[in-house]
Structure 1
Amino acid sequence: MKDIRKKLGIALVVTMTTVTFATAYGAATAPVRAAAVENIHVNPIRNDEPTYQRINQYKELAMYYYWHGGDIQQSEKDIFKGITLKGKYDVVENAFKEATLLDPLDLNLKFSLASTQIIQKKVPEALQTYKQILNLDPNNFNANLLYGVYSKASGDDAAYKASVAKLKQIDVQKTNMYLQKLEQTEKIFNEKLITTAPANVQSKNHAIVILGYALADDGTMKEPLIERLKTGLAVANKYPNSKIIVTGGVPKQGITEADAMSKWLISQGINKDRIILENKSTDTVENGLFSTAILEKEGLKDVTVVTSASHIRRALAVFKEADHFYSKMNGKAGKRNFTNAVYLDYKSLEEAQQVSKDEKLVIYRDLLRTSGIWQYPELQR
């Protein structure tokens, strides 16, 4: 056991003998993320420290809770006195609220606050935060775009149209590009979900991409991941010449999702030479971006995305946007063909085909993240 105390005010007790890291969030090395955090000590933020240091403390706290969670009651007692916290994202939200009070001119802090409100589906609060940004910077493209898209997701078409009109005044070419992205994504809402191996897939240059799911603390796979693998196995057996990409990089007990998935497929008779591990991604957006880099490298043109029915539309939106980016970056006109195969985590296929307002919200959110608009500017994609 080693007590690791952060100079900026966050102290962590983890079950490790050696740890190296730059910060408590994104720059942390894999061992820190993989560590079993037993306790989190949050030192009160003092008013006799420089402003930048107090802001950094709140940012550190926010990003740590975003990744790991922690002792909510302790945060109430030591940091957010008089505020009742209901979960880890309450800590993240209130940390950014406090940071924005310390520097109300920093728009990135407001973007981060709005993103946390979106994660919690507090759309009216997020829209109000974006409105504050727009009051300060009316021509901010990202703020106008986010305000418009989330207004659209909540059913406010008038606000969406007004945002589009403003965006076209700012940058008509960029606006039209995003309108095309939204149009393509909205077609995915009507995507027919396939619960078996898809038919008529080109067997040459075809890839099966199986998306990961968080492992249990002991490194074992949970039911949704096993069911995704079973679906992927059926596709792999139907198309024996296709490569298989397993994507997921968050480690538990030193095992990534991709590691566990690969071992399971091999145990079911899949030749290990067919399997490509993508073991760096931490969420759906990174699943798409990092797997697409592999598709490019391997020259794989057709893709069957395998995941849960509740996740497939978001995954397809991300993969198609990632494909668009790589095609543009590499100066190629052609786009990949995407099919799907899903583990049905609904009572019926008819229910699975319905797209809720909440699902649209997260689909739009991850589309925008994949396009390059970070949730937490300079901190977390």
Structure 2
Amino acid sequence: MKQPMRWIGRIMISIAGLVLLCAGLIVVDGLTDDIRRSDVAVVLGSKVNSNGTPSPRLQARLGRALELYKGGWTSHILVSGGTGIEGVPEGTAMKRWLISKGVPETAIIVDDQGVDTRATARNTSVLMHAHNLHSVIIVSQYFHISRTKLAFSQEGLTGVGSAHPDYFEARDLYSLAREVPGYAGYLLHR
């Protein structure tokens, strides 16, 4: 009876070690910005408040994209998200925020159908072709960068740069734990 329990224990420790290794790689990748001149910065959506304003997390993403735009790293910003329980389309709310910060409406592309990372990648590919854009920087939280780059690659968008905002909260631990199986799921199921 002791021998099978030892094997089960070893297997569980090995699995836990693998998960921690994967989480560590996701963190390193996400915290290592790959900023390059690109046609468009894609901001992935997050919660919008019921009054139509972006949540602090989403404002941090938008602020990072704004820095890239004002710094001349990108000429367009594509905002992508769905509509949460608040009833406000994320892309539309993000566009309003960017306009309020001085970004011309002509430099903003809205995707209100980016209900998840895969949809954002798919929609970005279509919108980039429609607007004759060829290079992209994704902007999201550090723990979300790896899976987003994978999804973009699976949609034929290669050489994707990335940038994360300096916004951290306790919830990131939960989000990081979700990203390990999330990444594996995207890797296995296109």
Residue in 1 aligned with 2:37?
A: 202
Partner of residue 238 from structure 1, selected from 65, 71, 78 = 71
Indicate how the Cα distance of structure 1 residues 154 and 227 shifts in structure 2: closer, same or farther if over 3 A, else same: same
SS at match of 1:340: strand
- Match runs of 1:209-358 below 5 Å: 209-239=42-72, 242-250=75-83, 254-323=87-156, 336-346=158-168, 358=178
1:301·1:337 contact (CA, 8 Å) conserved in 2?
no
TM-score (norm 1): 0.39
TM-score (norm 2): 0.74
- Match runs of 1:1-381 below 5 Å: 154=15, 189=26, 191=29, 193-194=31-32, 198=35, 201-203=36-38, 206-239=39-72, 242-250=75-83, 254-323=87-156, 336-346=158-168, 358-369=178-189, 371=190
2:40·2:74 contact (CA, 8 Å) conserved in 1?
no
Deviations 1:12-55 (A, max 9, x none): xxxxxxxxxxxxxxxxxxxxxxxxxxxxxxxxxxxxxxxxxxxx
1:207·1:245 contact (CA, 8 Å) conserved in 2?
yes
In the alignment, the residues of structure 2 paired with residue 154 and residue 346 of structure 1 have an alpha-carbon distance, to the nearest angstrom, of 27
TM-fit CA distance, 1:191: 2.6
Structure 1 residues without counterparts, runs of 5 or longer: 1-152, 158-184, 324-334, 372-381
2:30·2:145 contact (CA, 8 Å) conserved in 1?
no
Larger radius of gyration: 1
TM-fit CA distance, 1:316: 1.5
TM-fit CA distance, 1:230: 0.6
Q: Once the two structures are aligned, what percentage of the paired residues are identical? A: 24
SS at match of 1:280: coil
TM-fit CA distance, 1:302: 1.4
In the alignment, the residues of structure 1 paired with residue 17 and residue 30 of structure 2 have an alpha-carbon distance, to the nearest angstrom, of 27
2:158 alignment partner AA? R
Deviations 1:201-247 (A, max 9, x none): 235xx111011102234433211001111111001111276111000
Higher relative contact order (CA 8 A, sep 6+): 2
Report the number of matched residues.
168
